[in-house]
Amino acid sequence: MDNRQKEIDNLKDYKYGFTTDIENTKAPKGLNEDVIKFISNIKKEPQWMLDFRLKAYDRFKQLKEPDWQKPKYPKIDYQDLYYYSAPKSMKDKPKNLDDLDPKLLETYKKLGIPLQEQKRLNGIAVDAVFDSVSVATTFREELTKQGIIFCPISEAIQNHPELVKKYLGSVIPVTDHFFATLNSAVFTDGSFAYIPEGVRCPMELSTYFRINASNTGQFERTLIIADKGSYVSYLEGCTAPMRDENQLHAANVELVALDDAEIKYSTVQNWYPGDKDGKGGIYNFVTKRGLCKGKNSKISWTQVETGSAITWKYPSCILKGDNSVGEFYSIAITNNHQKADTGTKMIHLGKNTKSKIISKGISAGLSDMTYRGLVDISSKAANSNNYTQCDSLLMGNKCGAHTVPYIKNKNAESNIAHEATTSKISEEQLHYCQQRGLSAEEAVGLIVNGFCKEVLQQLPMEFAVEAQKLVGISLEGSVG
Amino acid sequence: MKEQLQKDFNNTIEGLSLTQKDIEIKKFYLDNFISKGFPNRKEEDWKFSDLKQIINKNIGEISFYTDFTTTNKVDTSVYVDGLEHNKIVFINGRIEKIDFDYEEKDQIEIIDQSETINKFNNTSSLSDLNSAFTNKSFKIAVKKDYRLVKPLIIYHTTNSKIWSKNINLRLNFELSENSCLRLIDLYSDTSEKNFLNIFYNFDLKKDSILKNYKVDKFKNKNIKYSFNNIDQDKNSISETFILSSGSNFFKNEINCNLSGEYSSAFVNGIFSLNNSMHHEIRTIINHLTENTKSYQLIKSVLEENSKAVYQGKIYVNSKAQKTDGYQLSKAILLNKDAEFNAKPELEIYADDVKCSHGSASGNLNENSIFYLMSRGLSYQQSRELLINGFLLDVVEKITDPEVKNLIKNLIGIKE
């Protein structure tokens, strides 16, 4: 018990809230063509990439910031941000980990992501992104043997232009919505993965995002392509230091699954959520979209959202190939002043497509949580199926839980079923647990974990344990 | 459209004896409508039904003035047989008859409110349109402890004298303590291409009961919008039933404020559509205080290239602990061109609540058909039996036996 208490006390505060004191190279403040050229130049990008960015920027200038979302936030001054920030030591890319700035190694060690050879997590290849650049990628040789490409996207632009050119912007076009377009114009780094035909990726691929510098926006771009018959499981984790001001994180993630391929994308998002009075924290405005391009393909999103001041994202699946499958499993927890507006879109275009949505929302304190989702079965998507379940749990009467599903069925041979419930932890359940010797907090922890179990099961082993702990910590202090 | 509006507005004003101040207020609403226009898909509430486009496509040029100086002959053949009832008859938007023969005279008060302007708890442009152009409006007040002996049927009839016109109606109901009103809205049209814009306001005092049945059964090519605002005090009950089946386009909106403890609201609806009909039901149930209850059940059967939309919202205020809210929508699509859209929404700020919704859409269950056919029914018979049973579920929710029978006969449901 004592040990557990100590562990909780340790974890109670946001333990990833430290900053790394490291010299940065930054782009000039503000957003204009010169800054975009600066980013493109520093990355030594080919002309087509710069054209891609400028095209997006042209489009961005015409777009208006959306305002239909539930959580409102003070206007962001896009001219008052740094769009590029990188540790100075990264200017000349270190050849191997021994050349890497020890401060960076130290940072990742503190975060529990050891990059050095001997301490690496077994079976997980990590791409570590620090502010605007990728600092290290582990297990690369082993992956290369199988023909798998796993590297920072800036490297992929240099080394595999044919793949990047073909797929970048194919799921999230440059003409998409406000934040996605902004990302297309100024994205700095991110991960790129290509799984060749018929290969089952032997280990989990993972990216670890870290925002360090202040006043910067993080705009990373992830592109994963699973060629015919391949399989990959991808993990994403994120943290940021504690700061008083809000920081913007607007990433784009594109997934492409060709015939018979499967992509499993898991996120444990733990950006700094702001302090107890709602000061500071990350604005997590992310666009994630997967395209089931080939027949029999499958894309599955799993997310555990515990951090960020505002989470605003809808990981989506476009089920274009016949018999393709889309899945979405989500746990979103908000406490204190956090706000979340999250959900998914399942767009059925091909025949016999199936999708499943399981969303669990927990709100406590003064927080506000919205599930917003779209299920659209087009007239050509014969014999398609969708099942949606979204449950919300409320703790206290100062928080809110909302459900806004959009359901469109244009095909008579297709079925859609949707269920949603909102409730609180019942006195009976609490009483039952306490009667058997658990404290009130432990009882709540147990019940909440049970509530989330369906989703936690979808996470890879190592992550599931972490996530389960995170769920408990996020709700600390919300009972009684 | 702006010039037409101005001209028709001046004509309408001429026929009314309004004070300068009231005219100013009406002008204000007119200006509001002119600046907003008919609602379109850019507005969240009209996302699935773009009224602007629908009016353009179905009506084209629309005018807003109707001459009410001449009376219309009431065609008694539209009256419902076999059910004694009180009546209010609207013909082309003009009140031709108010008849409460079955009731005690001093228990029901009918107040002409045409010359006063009521604010309506609605900010849509259609409410502005209604406020600017309504020319007769009545308030019907039921006195304390009085329960109407017979139901009241409001006949909304139109005939071929009108064409491409917009008609605005408004009625106010006040149900005093412990009173009860059964109200049936019956639409019957022989006109085409008109837009009816109907606003009802109900004020339900303590312990009162309102049962409102809206029956749009007879086929017609008009476009209709109806808005019910229901304010409920302690222990009051409102029951709304909607049969949405006859018009080319019909959007029913129910806005219910449960502001008294132990008040409850029931909304049940049937869409039975074919051809290229497009109907919508939108409900907003606001749970504003403790121990309130709401229940909604919407079922649709869609044939050919018809389209049904259900937008239902349950809002629970942070004070409204112990709320019980339930919502279910089910749709059967019988043709590949049919379309069902739903947006069942929950907005909850209190923790001790029980709220849930469900929505399902799909085709007829082949297994059930097989089961029935294996017992000797033809395919057609099995299909009808299943659809009947599916819809009967909603009709059975009607608590008034007389009205239940009437509606069963109208739909042709056999038991």
Sort out which chain B residues have CB atoms less than 8 A from A411's CB and list them: 333, 336
Give the integer Cα–Cα distance in Å for A7 and B215.
Answer: 64
Give the integer Cα–Cα distance in Å for B225 and B133.
Answer: 15
Sort out which chain B residues have CB atoms less than 8 A from A408's CB and list them: 339-341
Contact state of A412 with B333 under an 8 Å Cβ cutoff = yes
The counts of H helices and E strands in chain A are 11, 25
CA-based nearest distance B6→chain A, Å: 34
Of B92, B88, B97, nearest to B68 by C-alpha is: B92
Which residue matches tokens 């929302």? A361
CA-based nearest distance B115→chain A, Å: 39
Q: How many CA atoms within 13 Å lie on the side-chain side of A284?
A: 34
Sort out which chain B residues have CB atoms less than 8 A from A398's CB and list them: 318
A91–chain B Cβ distance below 8 A for any pair: no
Of A269, A344, A356, A358, nearest to A314 by C-alpha is: A344
Give the integer Cα–Cα distance in Å for B220 and B190.
Answer: 7
Sort out which chain A residues have CB atoms less than 8 A from B362's CB and list them: 409, 414-416
Of B370, B369, B323, nearest to B348 by C-alpha is: B323
Q: Which of B344, B347, B362 sits opposite A415 (nearest CB)?
A: B362
- Looking at the structure of chain B, the number of domains it has is 1
Contact state of B356 with A424 under an 8 Å Cβ cutoff = no
Give how far Cα B206 sits from Cα of B111, B144, B225, B237, Å.
22, 10, 29, 9
A64–chain B Cβ distance below 8 A for any pair: no
Q: Which residue of B has its CA nearest to A409?
A: B340
Give the integer Cα–Cα distance in Å for B156 and B170.
Answer: 12
State residue A165 phi and psi, 5-degree precision. -60, -40
For residues A440 and A102, is the Cβ–Cβ distance under 8 A? no
Residue A479 lies in a domain: no
Helix (H) or strand (E) segment spanning residue A364? strand A354-364
Tokens (6 digits) for B90: 């609207």
Beta bridge partners of A154: none
- pLDDT at residue number B414: 64
CA-only gyration radius of chain A, Å: 22
Give the integer Cα–Cα distance in Å for B156 and B91.
Answer: 6
> CB neighbours of B19 closer than 8 A, spacing ≥ 6?
none
> CB neighbours of B378 closer than 8 A, spacing ≥ 6?
none
Give the integer Cα–Cα distance in Å for B102 and B149.
Answer: 7
Beta bridge partners of B211: B182, B239
- pLDDT at residue number A13: 62
Give the integer Cα–Cα distance in Å for A13 and A6.
Answer: 12
Helix (H) or strand (E) segment spanning residue B51? helix B51-58
Q: Which residue numbers in chain B have pLDDT < 70? A: 114-122, 414-415
Tokens (6 digits) for B267: 């909304």
Which of A392, A407, A413, A423 to mutate against chain B (most B CBs within 10 Å)? A407
Give the integer Cα–Cα distance in Å for B75 and B58.
Answer: 27
The DSSP output letter for A475 is: T
- Which value, to the nearest 10 degrees, does the dihedral of the CA atoms of residues A328, A331, A336, A342 take? 10
Of A131, A250, A283, A78, nearest to A181 by C-alpha is: A250
Beta-strand runs (E) in A258-324: 262-269, 281-284, 287-292, 298-305, 310-313, 316-319
- Domain carrying residue B328: 2-411
- pLDDT at residue number A121: 55
Contact state of A416 with B337 under an 8 Å Cβ cutoff = no
Residue A163 lies in a domain: yes
CB atoms within 10 A of CB B274: 16
Residue A308 lies in a domain: yes
- Domain carrying residue A260: 2-474
Q: How many CA atoms within 13 Å lie on the side-chain side of A197?
A: 3
Tokens (6 digits) for B108: 């029901």
For residues A448 and A472, is the Cβ–Cβ distance under 8 A? yes
State residue B257 phi and psi, 5-degree precision. -105, 110
B328–chain A Cβ distance below 8 A for any pair: no
Q: How many CA atoms within 13 Å lie on the side-chain side of B368?
A: 13
Residue A396 lies in a domain: yes
B294–chain A Cβ distance below 8 A for any pair: no
> CB neighbours of A376 closer than 8 A, spacing ≥ 6?
A345, A346, A347, A348, A406, A408, A410
CB atoms within 10 A of CB B327: 25
Give the integer Cα–Cα distance in Å for A229 and A453.
Answer: 30
Quote the pTM value. 0.87
The DSSP output letter for B248 is: S
Of A329, A310, A308, A379, nearest to A350 by C-alpha is: A379
- pLDDT at residue number B148: 93
Q: Which of A401, A405, A420 sits opposite B356 (nearest CB)?
A: A420
Sort out which chain A residues have CB atoms less than 8 A from B360's CB and list them: 415-418
A409–chain B Cβ distance below 8 A for any pair: yes
- pLDDT at residue number B207: 95
Give the integer Cα–Cα distance in Å for B100 and B84.
Answer: 11
CA-based nearest distance A165→chain B, Å: 35
> CB neighbours of B409 closer than 8 A, spacing ≥ 6?
none
Give how far Cα A26 sits from Cα of A188, A210, A250, A342, B274, Å.
12, 16, 18, 32, 63
- pLDDT at residue number A480: 45
Buried b (16+ CB within 10 A) or exposed e, B219-257: ebebbbbbbbbbbbbbbbbbbbbbbbbbbbbbbbbbbbb
As to burial, measured by CB atoms within 10 angstroms (0-12 exposed, 13-18 middle, 19+ buried), residue A410 is: buried
Kindly give the confidence (pLDDT) of every residue in chain A, 480 residues in length, as a single tens digit, with 9 standing for 90 and above: 455 555 545 445 676 777 777 777 777 888 888 889 988 888 888 999 999 999 999 999 998 888 888 888 888 888 888 888 777 766 555 556 666 677 777 777 766 666 665 455 556 677 777 766 666 677 777 888 889 998 888 889 999 999 999 999 999 998 889 999 999 999 888 889 999 999 998 888 888 777 777 667 788 899 999 999 999 998 887 776 666 777 888 899 999 999 999 999 998 888 888 888 878 888 889 999 999 999 999 999 999 888 888 999 999 999 999 999 999 999 998 988 899 999 999 999 999 999 999 999 998 889 999 999 999 999 999 999 999 999 998 888 888 999 999 999 998 889 999 999 888 888 888 899 999 999 888 888 888 888 888 888 888 776 777 777 777 777 766 654
Angle, helix A178-186 to helix A33-42, in steps of 10 degrees: 50
- Looking at the structure of chain A, the number of domains it has is 1
Q: Which residue of A has its CA nearest to B343?
A: A406
Contact state of A418 with B331 under an 8 Å Cβ cutoff = no
- Which value, to the nearest 10 degrees, does the dihedral of the CA atoms of residues B124, B125, B131, B136 take? -100
Give how far Cα B317 sits from Cα of A96, A401, A425, B232, B289, Å.
58, 11, 19, 15, 7
ipTM of the complex: 0.84
Helix (H, G, I), strand (E, B) or coil at B191: coil
Residue A422 lies in a domain: yes
Which of A359, A370, A409, A430 to mutate against chain B (most B CBs within 10 Å)? A409
